[in-house]
A and B are shown apart, each in its own frame.
Chain A
Amino acid sequence: MSDEAHIVKSYEEELQNLNDSLIKMGSLTESQLADSMEAIIKVDKESADKIIANDAKINELRAKIDNQIMTVLVKRAPMAIDLRITISTLKISHDLERIGDLAKSVAKKIKPLPHDLPKELIGSLRRLGDLVQKQLRNVLDAYLNKSKESAITIWKNDEQVDDLTNTAMNEVADFLGKSKKNLELATHLLFVTKNIERAGDHITNIAESLYYLIEGEYLEGARPKGKDIEKN
């Protein structure tokens, strides 16, 4: 990192604007994810509509960031830390957009739900949703503070996301086993759970990009995996 400012003030401003856009996009994504978790658990169909409509704002911000980055690249040919900031911001904004998409997909599943969620399934789903939200909040804070240690912690915590996903999936499978009538709800819930886990994967990507931004090196080793659960 460098504490010094650029000699060229407008360059400094461009990077600051880029940073501001990303923070804005991060907080928007954070509330979309939180709202979608709340809505699925409550089967709140009205809220689902709002979440679906709001996704466009995230996409707009992503497009804005793409443009800001293209401008910085051609105008400044950024080097070293500035290059890493620019490239990492580009990657992080794309991961945020994907998390937004996943929140929207979850919201879309709320509408066809046949009835409220059975109590026995709510616990794990809530825990998974809370954990992924916490991970997103932490990674955005880590970005603000340029904290390498937090990036590593968040990256490692993906294992817990995988474990909770596993538990939630098993519970849904048990629920399905009880009665054929449960098929439709169970299918939707499996999809929702999987989407939350994927949001977690994008958060891990963000932690990786952040680590690269700070250190100029890639986080060593393969991504942590929870108990053998199939990805993608």
Chain B
Amino acid sequence: MVMINNKVKIKTTNLNVYYGDKQALNDVNLEIHSKEVTALIGPSGCGKSTYIRCINRMNDVIDICRVTGSIEIDGNEINKKEIDVVSLREKIGMVFQKPNPFPKSIYDNVSYGPNIHGLAENKVKMDEIVETSLKKAALWNEVKDRLNEPGTSLSGGQQQRLCIARAISVNPEVILMDEPCSALDPIATAKIEELMDELKKSYTIVIVTHSMSQAVRVSQRTGFFHLGKLIEVDTTEKIFKNPNNKMTQDYITGRFG
């Protein structure tokens, strides 16, 4: 039995997103529970990335993008002008499909965020943050003797774990992951999945994935999107054993794509 924690961390209500005239999300009402992994699935172009980019206001950087409706984190509205997006993104980390370490040393990749946000008063404290972040990301043992080498010198799977270390270095509350394993081999994927299991004890995680079995392995709840609409959201067990909606079933069983 999975423990289902019912505290809502993120809540979107009537969320609509437009890229110019094109509507990418249509009245999405979704509650994401605290300290759980929520998987978002659905065919390419259905709006999964658009959805998670709303949560840390990453869509702000796209000129033609317009977001309406409500996005609450811990009950506080974040879809309004007055919100300081820099401190919002400190609370909400993001990991992308392609590992994207900065062209800096492994150490600097992890210390970058804490530096900007002034989280370490001295070098000793910063060393500590870097070490714990790398340990939490299950990368420490592999890099502890080469912290000054460039982050880009790592393998793909290691780079992705470095990006996770970077995301958790600022001690966020939410981690958004957009297909974090799509470029990784099964071993690296397994390490990231194992890591998510560990991370969800402290963080709320939202993962976009095209792998149904990954969604089953890592998540407690799953939401299925289609053409910008949230079709069904339920416990992962329910979605993959016996979904309510025929469209969900046809998608996860490979009957349309």
Contacts of A7 in B (CB 8 A): 254-257
Interface string of B243-257 (1 = CB under 8 A from A): 100101110111111
Rounded to whole angstroms, the CA-CA distance of A155 and B246 in the bound complex is 28
Q: Quick check: A6 and B253 within 8 Å, CB to CB?
A: yes
Q: Quick check: A80 and B253 within 8 Å, CB to CB?
A: yes
Interface flag for A217 (CB, 8 Å): yes
Contacts of A81 in B (CB 8 A): 249, 253
Q: Quick check: B249 and A2 within 8 Å, CB to CB?
A: yes
- The verdict on A84 contacting B246 (CB below 8 Å), with A4-B256, A7-B257, A8-B254 known, is no
* 15 CB-based A-B contacts, threshold 8 Å: A4-B250, A6-B253, A6-B254, A7-B254, A7-B257, A8-B254, A77-B212, A78-B253, A79-B240, A80-B248, A81-B253, A83-B240, A83-B241, A84-B241, A84-B242
Q: Report the minimal beta-carbon distance from B255 to chain A, rounded to whole angstroms.
A: 4
Q: Quick check: A2 and B255 within 8 Å, CB to CB?
A: yes
- Report the contact-size class of chain A (Cβ under 8 Å from the partner): 10 to 19
Contacts of B250 in A (CB 8 A): 2, 4
Interface string of B213-257 (1 = CB under 8 A from A): 100000000000000000000000001111100101110111111
**A7-B254, A11-B254, A80-B241 known, 14 other contacts, Cβ within 8 Å:** A2-B246, A5-B255, A6-B253, A7-B257, A8-B254, A77-B212, A78-B253, A80-B239, A80-B243, A81-B253, A83-B240, A83-B241, A84-B242, A216-B241
Q: Quick check: A6 and B212 within 8 Å, CB to CB?
A: no
Interface flag for A82 (CB, 8 Å): yes
Rounded to whole angstroms, the CA-CA distance of A176 and B253 in the bound complex is 58
Contacts of A83 in B (CB 8 A): 240-241
Decide if the interface of chain A is mainly helix, strand, loop or mixed.
loop
Q: Quick check: B255 and A4 within 8 Å, CB to CB?
A: yes
Q: Quick check: B212 and A79 within 8 Å, CB to CB?
A: yes
Interface centre among B212, B246, B249, B253 (most CB of A within 10 A): B253
User: In the complex, which of the residues A4, A11, A77 contacts B213, with contact meaning CB atoms closer than 8 Å?
Assistant: A77
Interface string of A2-21 (1 = CB under 8 A from B): 10111110010000000000
Q: Quick check: B254 and A80 within 8 Å, CB to CB?
A: no
Q: Report the minimal beta-carbon distance from B251 to chain A, rounded to whole angstroms.
A: 9
A40-77 at interface with B (beta carbon < 8 Å): 77
Q: Quick check: A6 and B252 within 8 Å, CB to CB?
A: no
User: In the complex, which of the residues B213, B242, B252, B254 contacts A216, with contact meaning CB atoms closer than 8 Å?
Assistant: B242
> Which residue of A has the minimal Cβ distance to B249?
A80
Contacts of A4 in B (CB 8 A): 250, 255-256
Q: Report the minimal beta-carbon distance from B41 to chain A, rounded to whole angstroms.
A: 11
Rounded to whole angstroms, the CA-CA distance of A69 and B181 in the bound complex is 28
Contacts of B254 in A (CB 8 A): 6-8, 11
Q: Quick check: B242 and A82 within 8 Å, CB to CB?
A: no
Q: Quick check: A82 and B253 within 8 Å, CB to CB?
A: yes
